[in-house]
């Protein structure tokens, strides 16, 4: 006898997917062209056909905790070849957006991050935080905020002391890790339960050691963007994504090197332009700006794909971080004290917004997709 499932359609979920860019999902008539066309879909229980029918029925539980939703890289092959214009790639993108909001807490902050009307409030919030904390410390005799730094050399640490910056950014990093930790705990449990239900795995419990080994095996695929590059429609987009991806890795290394130099070695900046770490910082910054511009160009050229506020918010933040970072450096080297200090302040706001709200933005896909790809490797889905 065939298995029986109780179907409980969630109309609100369907409407939310339509709002997030999946408004074409009802055009799907289950021809399976998308699953056949997708070059990275597993041979058994391939996507996105089954996800399209689940979305049409409003089966929220079968989609939000579904690893296959994240294995899709939204290359556009399925959308281009769909005979009905159902745009499966956009529908799965909408499901991912919904899943990010579902797993990140607090919910009210997630709604703010994805509401364009709240952008000015969110963008200016770190400015208020820096200034209020700086003035409070001034009152108690700690002068970490100085609007008249003076001196012959432009030193951003004399304007906003590095201790003040890190007093905000270090707890912020811990906050982001905690939010992701809570979300991933639920996410991993959900995708495992769905995999058991759909017969994608026969392992009752996830073995931590085997899962970490699966992560190690899948890292080369992620670092090469191998799956992303396999899609025909992604030939031009893969380069810009790799540029942004590796520029962030480079800047992460630079940040940690300077953190170690400042707090462990007690060597304060500005650092020489001939320093190897400084070279890495400058190259990463340039690559980030170029990659960000190419991603915007790619997005504008893809008129057949849906672009939502989430897409443009992330692109704006990425380009903003790169441009303000490079302009801060250029104005410092050019001896333009006023512009340099101001642009540095704006740069801090961009950096804060990009990373403090990372669990609620589209950039969260770096974490969720990595976990989903690792789980697929762990479960043996090829």
Region 60-64: what's the mean pLDDT? 88
Is residue 323 included in any domain, yes or no? Answer: yes
pLDDT at 157: 84
- Alpha-carbon gap, residue 370 to 188, rounded angstroms: 11
Structural domains in the chain (count): 2
Both 177 and 293 in one domain: the answer is yes
Contacts with 3 (C-beta within 8 Å, 6 or more apart), sequence order = none
- Average the pLDDT over each of 122-136, 161-175, 301-315 and give the range with the smallest value: 301-315
Closest CA to 341 of 122, 143, 149, 144: 149
Q: Is residue 29 part of a domain?
A: yes
Percent of the chain exceeding pLDDT 70 equals: 97
Mean pLDDT of 223-234: 77
pLDDT digits (tens, 9 = 90+) for 334-359: 999 999 999 999 999 999 999 999 99
Please write the tens of the pLDDT for every residue from 87-111.
998 999 999 999 999 999 999 999 8
| Closest C-alpha among 354, 1, 369, 371 to residue 176 | 354
Q: Is the pLDDT of residue 233 over 80?
A: no
pLDDT computed for residue 300 by the predictor: 86
Q: What is the mean pLDDT of residues 71-84?
A: 86
Structure-model confidence comparison of residues 24 and 153, the more confident one = 24
Provide, rounded to the nearest whole percent, the portion of the chain with pLDDT above 90: 49
pLDDT in tens, 107-131: 999 989 989 999 999 999 999 999 9
Beta-bridge partners for 145: 160
Same domain for 196 and 120, yes or no, is: yes
Same domain, 99 and 120: no
User: Does residue 232 sit in the same domain as residue 365?
Assistant: yes
**What average pLDDT does this structure show over 205-214?**
91
Model confidence at 307: pLDDT above 90: no
Assess whether 146 and 57 both reside in one domain. no
Does residue 275 sit in the same domain as residue 305?
yes
- What whole-number distance in Å separates Cα of residue 242 and Cα of residue 371? 19
Mean pLDDT across the chain? 89
Asked if 332 and 227 sit in the same domain, the reply is yes
Contact (Cβ atoms closer than 8 angstroms) between residue 350 and residue 317: yes
pLDDT on residue 237: 79
Q: Which of 103, 122, 138 is the C-terminal boundary of a domain?
A: 103
The domain boundary, picked from 69, 103, 137, lies at 103
Please give the residue range of the domain that contains residue 36: 11-103
Distance CA 234, CA 38 (A): 12
Give a yes or no: residue 6 inside a domain: no
Residue 207 lies in a domain: yes
pLDDT digit string, tens, across residues 252-284: 999 999 889 888 888 887 888 888 999 999 999
Same domain, 345 and 228: yes
Q: What is the pLDDT of residue 1?
A: 47
Helical (H) or strand (E) element with 45: none
Residue 5 lies in a domain: no
Q: Is 45 in the same domain as 112?
A: no
Handedness of CA 317, 227, 234, 93 (dihedral sign): negative
pLDDT value at residue 235: 65
Residue 188 lies in a domain: yes
Is 3 inside any structural domain? no
Tokens of 84: 């009905």
In a domain, 151, yes or no: yes
**What is the average pLDDT across 68-73?**
90
Residues 68 and 114 both lie in one domain? no
- Give CA torsion, residues 60, 61, 66, 69, to 10 deg: 0
Domain closes at, from 103, 137, 154: 103
91 and 122 together in one domain: no
Q: Does position 223 have pLDDT exceeding 70, yes or no?
A: yes
**Residue 80 and residue 129 in one domain:** no
pTM, full prediction: 0.89
Determine the Cα–Cα distance for residues 290 and 239; give it in Å rounded to an integer.
11
Question: Which position has the higher pLDDT, 234 or 154?
Answer: 154
For residue 90 the two structure tokens come to 């956009």
Given this model, what pLDDT does residue 274 score? Answer: 85
């Amino acid at each position: 006898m065939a298995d029986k499932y109780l179907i409980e359609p969630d109309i609100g979920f369907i409407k939310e997917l339509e709002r997030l860019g999946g408004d074409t999902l009802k055009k799907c008539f289950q021809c399976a062209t998308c699953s056949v066309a997708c070059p990275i879909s597993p041979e058994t229980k391939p996507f996105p056909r089954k996800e399209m029918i689940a979305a049409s029925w409003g089966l929220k539980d079968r989609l939000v905790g579904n690893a296959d939703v994240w294995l899709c890289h939204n290359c556009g092959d399925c959308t281009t070849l769909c005979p009905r214009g159902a745009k499966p790639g956009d529908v799965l993108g909408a499901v991912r957006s919904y899943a990010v909001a579902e797993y990140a807490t607090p919910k009210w902050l997630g709604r703010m991050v994805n509401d364009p009307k709240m952008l000015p409030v969110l963008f200016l919030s770190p400015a208020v935080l820096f200034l209020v904390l700086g003035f409070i410390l001034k009152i108690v005799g700690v002068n970490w905020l100085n609007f008249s730094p003076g001196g012959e050399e432009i030193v951003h640490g004399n304007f906003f002391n590095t201790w003040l910056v890190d007093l905000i950014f270090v707890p912020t990093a811990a906050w982001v890790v905690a939010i992701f930790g809570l979300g991933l705990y639920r996410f991993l449990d959900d995708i495992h339960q769905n995999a058991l239900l759909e017969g994608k795995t026969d392992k009752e419990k996830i073995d931590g050691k085997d899962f970490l080994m699966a992560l190690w095996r899948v890292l080369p695929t992620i670092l090469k963007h191998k799956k992303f590059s396999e899609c025909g429609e992604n030939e031009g987009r893969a380069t810009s994504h790799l540029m942004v991806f590796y520029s962030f890795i480079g800047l992460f290394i630079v940040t940690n090197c300077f953190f170690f130099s400042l707090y462990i070695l007690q060597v304060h900046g500005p650092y020489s332009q001939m320093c190897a770490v400084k070279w890495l910082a400058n190259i990463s910054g340039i690559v980030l700006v170029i990659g960000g511009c190419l991603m915007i160009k790619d997005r504008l050229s893809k008129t057949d794909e849906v672009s939502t506020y989430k897409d443009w918010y992330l692109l704006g933040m990425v380009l903003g971080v790169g441009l303000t970072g490079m302009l801060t450096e250029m104005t410092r080297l050019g001896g333009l004290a006023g512009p340099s200090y101001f642009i540095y302040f704006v740069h801090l706001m961009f950096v804060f917004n990009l990373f403090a709200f990372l669990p609620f933005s589209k950039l969260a896909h770096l974490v969720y997709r990595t976990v989903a790809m690792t789980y697929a490797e762990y479960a043996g889905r090829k």
